[in-house]
Structure 1
Amino acid sequence: MRIPGPLLLWREVVDRAARQSPARLALSVFAAVIGVFTALLLTPQATASGRQAPFVDALFTATSAVCVTGLTTVPTGTYWSTFGQVVILVGIKVGGLGVMTLASLLGLAVSRRIGLTQKILAASETRSARLGEVGSLLRVVIITATALEVSIALVLFPRFLVLGEPLGVAAWHGVFYAVSAFNNAGFVPTAEGLAPYTSDWWIGAPIALGVFVGSLGFPAILTIARHRRRFRRWSLHTKLTVVTSAALAVTGTVLVGAIEWGNPATFGRLDVPGRLLAAVFAGVMPRSGGFATIDVGQMHESSWLITDALMFVGGGSASTAGGIKVTTLAVMLLAILAEARGDRDVEAFGRRIPRETLRLAVAVVFIGATTVLVASLLVLEITGLPLDVVLFEVLSAFATVGLSTGITPDLPDEAKYVLSALMFVGRTGTMTVAAALALRDRRRVIRYPEERPIIG
């Protein structure tokens, strides 16, 4: 079959870009997708009022959806029409596939094949060892994600019916919450959000579970699905991801639950089931979920600090979560433990972690912290707001979480643009930088003499 001239030219352009700068291609595709969804949200039919949305709000919402963040400048349930909410939901679904996966799917759509460069990109994103399986793996990723989303929706749907919602509305809310939860987006389709369901475990538990599973990442999900109860056959990446994720979720649940238990503005006004559910949300949602059953702005500052730390870490690699990733934290902690013991090697679960991985983890942490620092300085100068609320909002944007103290809708346009850029960098930057650094392996014939500076 002969390929038309324009399509052939486009295919050559994509292949050339993939060979010369694959990371730039992926970022360009992701930025182009945000541009498309921004344009859709700028149409009058996207708003409930029928008037065109301001550019900054359309851009912010599109970026938040595609970067699966959940921060909003306008209420999703009342400001956007049904068409606008569908656009947001599709943006969440597309963004959840991941930057590198999206670039590979573009190559499939254009040339109906995956070239070697695209296979390497997808293998890097999904941690696949066999390049020949990447084409089928991408299909497995899409099918797996959709199946999990459908499962969550099927659990939520009857509950919304029981609560008195019409059939169509219950189905829509079930699908919206399911996609938003698994992709760690944090968007809600109603003005009141999850506040009416603070004690409803039938709604809260599936959403929390969907967020936790989605934050593990496709490599871990696929490994668990293949080996299930055979923990020994899990890869080191999967073991570190699951163990660290569970430890962070439990730590966040216990600490924030203990601090907020008697706070009349948050947990204190709830019954015991509601307090327990809110505590679970406090431990799971900072992983990048962004859902809340209580007013985050009324939490104690110590709870904000704990949430800040959890948000900065984020979820698993190649997942819908942001942050520096849990495996990065695990490698850093293991390195500190090995140094304290005087061990020469960094080891975990009977495996030795290469020094290159530790250096990469240090680079990712430093770049992430520097990005948060610069963004915080900019927002502080623009708004003049207190550091605690600014840092919370900046970390929520960088880690694509979506939790908010309530200041985002009232920020000046300049600050909204800063947070929009931060969401894009947080979703794509650390992963792209990590992949770029991992591919830089310079072999030098001549090495300088070794000398240790004094540390500490």
Structure 2
Amino acid sequence: MTAVRLVGVRQGLLERFRHPAQVIVGGFAVAVLAGTGLLALPAASESGQSAGVLTALFTATSAVCVTGLVVVDTGTQWSLFGELVIVGLIQAGGLGIMTLATLFALLVSGRLGLRARLLVQAETKTLQGVGVRRVIRNIVIFSLGCEAVLAVALALRFALAYGEPVGRAAYLGVFHAVSAFNNAGFGLWPDSLVRFAADPWVCLPIALAVIIGGLGFPVIFELVRSWRRPRAWSVLTRVTVGTTVVLLAAGTLVLTAAEWDNPGTLGPLSGPAKVLAGFFTAVMPRTAGFNSIDIVAMRSESWLATDILMFIGGGSAGTAGGIKVTTFGLLAFVMWAELRGEDRVNIGHRRLPGPVQRQALTIALLGVGLVAVSTFALLAMVPHTLDKVLFEVISAFATVGLSTGITADLPPAARLLLVALMFIGRVGPVTVFSALALRERTRRYELPEERPIVG
């Protein structure tokens, strides 16, 4: 019966999404244009004067693409109306990408983590559409539930420990909860979360929300149902969880060690606070964009480590960006199999199909190429050094939002380039993956084999 339901849901998805790229690109473009129009209104600015079309476009794109890069300070530039527009755009962008990515994962493969687990829960009585609606409902409930819990926790902390009025504390809690879970990184303080660097009651809940939002709904759902039986996890969950744990541990170790005695970052903090800030700094490149230490004051080796973490990003079908930890993890298994001389790539008790290996390689190389070309173009526009420009480009492409402080000073052409990068980085991986997967064809003949020299 489960197999019949899976076929029914996939048939329903095929009917609704005959052109996945058009659905994704068109939907996000409409949201960006609507947000630009609203933020360009005088009522959206604290001063009562329009912020300008370019500033509104940059901010709207950053919000819809859940990036967090800004050219003006969010808390002082935008009015309450403007801030609510930004929160709405973040929520729409986060839910939109989670929903579309999850549905397309179900469409292109019945074994990407959703499998029968989502369908068993959906007590469908027909073969068309009902399962899809249940999946979307579960995503929305899960997302809003996580945001509500985080908002309450933050509001209580802001009210009890920092003396914020109840209404203001609740607003701050909701704004930063939505921004954190959706990996957006928008904050209402000029220093982001630097003032809370040593406060675990603020940093840890936000970091946890970033991690959960970045794992992706299929992985979270499978973990909830099978967390006691790791051997039963799908390949998606195995790779996502394993790679995430390794990257968080390695990132925390590297960034904490590199910044330990830096007077501009971790130096003035106590030992436990340094570890907390180091962990928080390692979590944010998953692509949240908050910072509890001054990014500008970080050392060059820390920028490079952050570049790598940002480029990899978070989990598939989640709110994080980058090439995805799944892509990175799969390529690691491919390399390991090649180094061992094995002709098959095995993960756990499953074999990785050849098309999936090629898709992972394609997405990774497309990301490298886009970052390289964009860095070259931006270097030609601005007088900044390579390390700063590369950091900014990867932050935009991976929809992170961290900055070395040069974003606000960029000329209009450079800002438009970052707008394009944010948009491509947000919709690109899902679009490319779904397009590649749906284009799979069975060739009815084989050409003669020839082995060229590699390396």
State TM-score, norm by structure 2: 0.90
Q: Counterpart of 2:267 in 1: which secondary structure?
A: helix
1:54-453 paired onto structure 2 within 5 Å: 54-99=52-97, 101=99, 120=107, 127=114, 133-162=131-160, 163-453=162-452
CA distance in 1, matches of 2:289, 2:452: 43
CA drift of 1:444 comes to 2.4
- Partner Cα distance (2:442, 2:317) in 1: 28
Higher RCO (CA 8 Å, separation ≥ 6 residues):
2
| Unmatched 5+ stretches in structure 1 | 1-14, 106-116
Cα deviation code 1:338-369 (max 9, x no counterpart): 11111121111221111111111110011111
Among residues 34, 40, 43, which one is paired with 2:38 in the alignment?
Answer: 40
Shift, 1:100, TM fit: 7.5
**Preserved CA contact (<8 Å) 1:322 1:401:** yes
> Post-superposition shift, 1:371?
0.9
Q: CA deviation at 1:121?
A: 7.9
Q: Partner residue of 1:23?
A: 21
CA gap of 1:368–1:79, structure 2 versus 1, over 3 A, is same
Deviation of 1:126 after TM superposition, in Å, equals 8.2
| Residues 82, 17 of structure 1: alpha-carbon distance in 2 compared, 3 angstrom cutoff | farther
Distance across 2 between alignment mates of 1:125 and 1:49: 49
CA distance in 2, matches of 1:183, 1:217: 11
Question: Separation in 1 of the partners of 2:312 and 2:50?
Answer: 37
Note if contact 1:18-1:25 (Cα within 8 Å) is conserved in structure 2. Answer: no
CA distance in 1, matches of 2:365, 2:151: 39
Task: Output the aligned Cα RMSD.
Answer: 2.3
Q: Deviations over 1:257-283 (max 9, x none)?
A: 001000001110222232112101121
Deviation at 1:124, TM superposition (A): 10
Amino acid at match of 2:23: L
1:194 aligned partner, one-letter code = L
Three-state SS of the structure 2 residue aligned to 1:140 is: helix
Tell me, in whole angstroms, the C-alpha distance in 1 between the residues paired with 2:101 and 2:234.
Answer: 26
Superposition misfits of 4+ residues, deviation over 6 angstroms: 121-126
Deviation at residue 193 of structure 1 after TM alignment: 2.5
Equivalenced residues, count: 431
Compared CA separation, residues 451 and 251, structure 1 to 2 (3 A):
same
1:33-68: CA deviations, max 9, x gaps?
111111110111101001011111100000000000
Letter in 2 for 1:25: V
- With normalisation by structure 1, the TM-score equals 0.90
Cα 1:125–1:340 shift into 2, 3 Å: closer
Give CA-to-partner distance per residue, 1:15-45, whole Å, 9 cap, x none.
Answer: 9996653311221111001111111101111
- The alpha-carbon distance between structure 1 residues 67 and 183, as it changes in their structure 2 partners (threshold 3 A), is same
Of 344-353 and 406-415, the range deviating more from structure 2: 344-353
Instruction: Tell me if the contact between 1:98 and 1:319 (Cα under 8 Å) persists in the aligned partners.
Output: no
Aligned match of 2:5: none
Report the AA paired with residue 319 of structure 1: G
Cα distance between partner residues in 2 of 1:234 and 1:153: 31
Aligned mates of 1:320, 1:19 — CA distance in 2: 21
Q: Tell me, what secondary structure is at the counterpart of 1:446?
A: coil
How much has 1:156 moved relative to structure 2? Answer: 1.1
Query: Which is further off, 193-202 or 223-232?
Result: 223-232
SS in structure 2 of the partner of residue 49 of structure 1: coil
Within 2, Cα distance between the matches of 1:63 and 1:123?
32
Q: Secondary structure at the match of 2:363?
A: helix
Q: Does structure 2 retain, via aligned residues, the 8 Å contact 1:104–1:122?
A: no
Deviation track 1:400-420 (CA, whole Å, cap 9, x = no partner) reads 011100100110011010001
Contact 2:98 2:216 in 1 (8 A): no
- Displacement of 1:144 in angstroms is 0.2
8 Å CA contact 2:281–2:292 kept in 1: the answer is: no
Residue in 2 that maps onto 1:109:
none
The 8 Å contact of residues 216 and 317 in structure 1, kept in 2 or not, is answered as yes
Aligned-pair identity (%): 48
Indicate conservation of the 8 Å contact 1:400/1:423, yes or no.
yes
Answer yes or no: is the 8 Å Cα contact 2:98–2:318 preserved in 1.
Answer: no
SS in 2 for 1:97: helix
Q: Are residues 316 and 104 of structure 1, via their aligned partners in 2, closer, same or farther at CA, if it must alter by over 3 Å?
A: closer
AA aligned to 2:449 is E
Corresponding residue of 1:3:
none
1:48 alignment partner AA: E
For residue 95 of structure 2, what is the amino acid of its counterpart?
L
Q: Is the 8 A contact 1:126 1:318 kept in 2?
A: no
Deviations 1:384-413 (A, max 9, x none): 321100000000000001110010011001
Between the aligned partners of 1:290 and 1:334, the Cα distance in structure 2 is 29
- Conserved? CA contact 2:113–2:237, under 8 Å: no
Q: Is the 8 A contact 2:97 2:317 kept in 1?
A: no
Q: Given the superposition, is the C-alpha separation of residues 61 and 231 from structure 1 closer, same or farther in structure 2, using an over 3 Å criterion? A: same
Equivalent pair of 1:199/1:277 in contact (CA under 8 Å): yes
Partner of 1:114: none
CA distance in 1, matches of 2:286, 2:335: 23
5+ residue gaps in structure 2? 1-12, 120-128
**Alpha-carbon deviation of 1:128?**
5.1
